Chain A
């Protein structure tokens, strides 16, 4: 069965510093990969997704994620973190052989210090 590993339970970054959240998946074929963000007590918001094509995906808020097939990774990065980025980040994978279920990693809690 497919699985997702987020090795860091929590990360603390200074405001303005760069960020990288790690995500590894276990799946044989090309997976569909996602990053979601969740603020306390709130639902999920989709940040980025990768299905195919360019292995670097970006959003308008400065987040980017890179799919590296050889490393089974889909790490999330941001060059300069803002205090409002503090939240829980979940990496997730969907496989078309798994009934299109979304399987989530354990999550990484991001703390931003002034």
Chain B
């Protein structure tokens, strides 16, 4: 299958600071990328969908000014958690798909801890 790399795998930041998470497709063109959040012992909830070169589409209830998504190239999307607070601590997972495919491939996830 195709490979999606997410970085960093773990990050700890101070409350009030911003943190950026990268999602890269290593061997295909990711025309669409998805960002998910997973709280402990819960399922993955879709936060937003981004198409290369376009603004991201956010799911209901997700603050677009807090979770900035950039998808400027066919291999890279970034999620920036701005002014992070402890309640933003979570596991963030990205996935990516080529427009020719039905299936998206998932990154390894990023564990964000805000202290």
Contacts and interface: CB of A to CB of B under 8 A. Distances in A.
A90 interface: yes
Interface of B: 1, 6, 32, 34, 42-46, 49, 57, 93, 95, 97, 102-104, 106-109, 111
Interface in A46-100: 46, 49, 51, 90, 94, 96, 99-100
B52 to A, nearest CB: 14
A103 B46 contact: yes
Given A43-B108, A90-B44, A32 B103 contact: yes
Contacts, number: 50
A100 B44 contact: no
Nearest to A32: B102
B9 to A, nearest CB: 9
Nearest to A103: B46
Contacts of A107: 42-43
Interface in A96-111: 96, 99-107
Contact of A96 (B57, B102, B108): B102
Contact of A104 (B1, B44, B107, B108): B44
A48 B57 CA distance: 28
